[in-house]
């Protein structure tokens, strides 16, 4: 993702301006009676501060999400290890998908607050579950990791379906759609070239229905490896 200093400064300003709902809008107006009652219950417990009803639902979801982290240390992913190797050995890094930060976030800032209520309620559900909910999410992550380590791809994908932030941006956004649309053509091009390329692609993008592997099979490629369909 490419970006410039002024683009970042502009996005920070938009983010801060978006944090409060437009005049005349409140969370009570855009939620169901049951959802509103659950938010009020969190306020009564001291988790939400008075005036929370004027906070943008996505911003509120992010605040609630910070209070449900399980304290795990961030671990380097496969892409991080590949970048280290390339820096050490002078290899060339070529992004499979590219985009401009300002353009990719335009859809988010143009969206209506109501579109992010589902994300907010996912965070509320996790918070309501307390420590048991945090532990359940950690256990699900471990199960996904174990399934992938054992090359049980369908099980790994199934576990990811229970992600607590499945309704939150950028899931399903223009950013994801552009990335997914560019992956198969980019990988197909690399496969037909003379050079050897190590590609780092998420398991979801590879093995989901209609993902990269399905596209390659449809194009006549012989895909060998773990079974990715049930």
pLDDT one digit per residue (tens) for the chain, 230 residues: 555 666 778 889 999 999 999 999 999 999 999 999 999 999 999 999 999 999 999 999 999 988 766 555 556 677 788 888 888 888 877 777 666 777 778 889 999 999 999 999 999 998 898 888 778 877 888 888 898 889 899 888 876 654 556 678 887 776 777 778 888 888 888 888 888 877 888 888 889 888 899 999 999 999 998 988 77
**Do the domain assignments include residue 218?**
no
**C-alpha–C-alpha distance, residues 186 and 205, integer Å:** 13
Structural domain count, the chain: 1
If one counts every other C-beta atom within 10 angstroms of the C-beta of residue 219, the result is 10
Given this model, what pLDDT does residue 137 score?
78
Given this model, what pLDDT does residue 195 score?
81
Given this model, what pLDDT does residue 70 score?
52
**C-alpha–C-alpha distance, residues 211 and 230, integer Å:** 15
- Domain, as residue range, for 141: 5-169
**Do the domain assignments include residue 191?**
no
Given this model, what pLDDT does residue 119 score?
92
**Do the domain assignments include residue 98?**
yes
**Do the domain assignments include residue 176?**
no
Given this model, what pLDDT does residue 116 score?
95
Q: Which residues contact 183 (CB under 8 A, 6 or more apart)?
A: 96, 97, 201, 205, 212
**Do the domain assignments include residue 30?**
yes
**C-alpha–C-alpha distance, residues 51 and 46, integer Å:** 12
For the CA atoms of 111, 115, 118, 124, what is the dihedral angle to 10 degrees?
A: 60
**Do the domain assignments include residue 196?**
no
Q: Which residues contact 140 (CB under 8 A, 6 or more apart)?
A: 159, 162
**Do the domain assignments include residue 159?**
yes
Residues forming beta bridges with residue 55, ordered by sequence position = 20
Distances from the Cα of 213 to the Cαs of 100, 152, 223, in angstroms?
Answer: 27, 15, 7
> Whole-prediction pTM value?
0.72
**Do the domain assignments include residue 193?**
no
Given this model, what pLDDT does residue 89 score?
84
Given this model, what pLDDT does residue 79 score?
75
Mean pLDDT of the chain: 84
Given this model, what pLDDT does residue 10 score?
86
């Amino acid at each position: 993702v490419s970006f410039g200093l002024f683009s970042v400064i502009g996005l920070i300003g938009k983010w801060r301006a978006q944090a409060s709902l437009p005049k005349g809008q409140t969370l009570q107006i855009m939620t169901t009676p049951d959802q509103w009652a659950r938010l009020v219950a969190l306020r009564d417990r001291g988790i939400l501060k008075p005036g929370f009803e004027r906070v943008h639902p996505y911003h509120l979801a992010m605040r609630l999400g910070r209070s449900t982290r399980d304290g795990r240390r961030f671990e380097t992913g496969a892409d991080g290890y590949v970048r280290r190797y390339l820096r050490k050995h002078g290899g060339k890094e070529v992004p499979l998908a590219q985009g401009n930060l300002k353009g990719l976030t335009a859809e988010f800032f143009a969206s209506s607050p109501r579109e992010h209520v589902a994300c907010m309620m996912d965070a509320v559900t996790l918070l309501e579950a307390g420590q048991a909910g945090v532990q359940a999410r950690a256990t699900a992550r471990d199960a996904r990791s174990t399934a992938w380590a054992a090359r049980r791809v369908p099980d790994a994908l199934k576990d990811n379906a229970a992600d607590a932030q499945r309704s939150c941006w950028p899931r399903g956004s223009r950013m994801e759609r552009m990335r997914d649309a560019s992956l198969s053509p980019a990988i197909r091009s690399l496969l037909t070239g003379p050079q050897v390329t190590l590609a780092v692609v998420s398991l979801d993008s590879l093995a989901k229905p209609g993902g990269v592997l399905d596209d390659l099979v449809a194009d006549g490629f012989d895909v060998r490896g773990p079974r990715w369909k049930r």
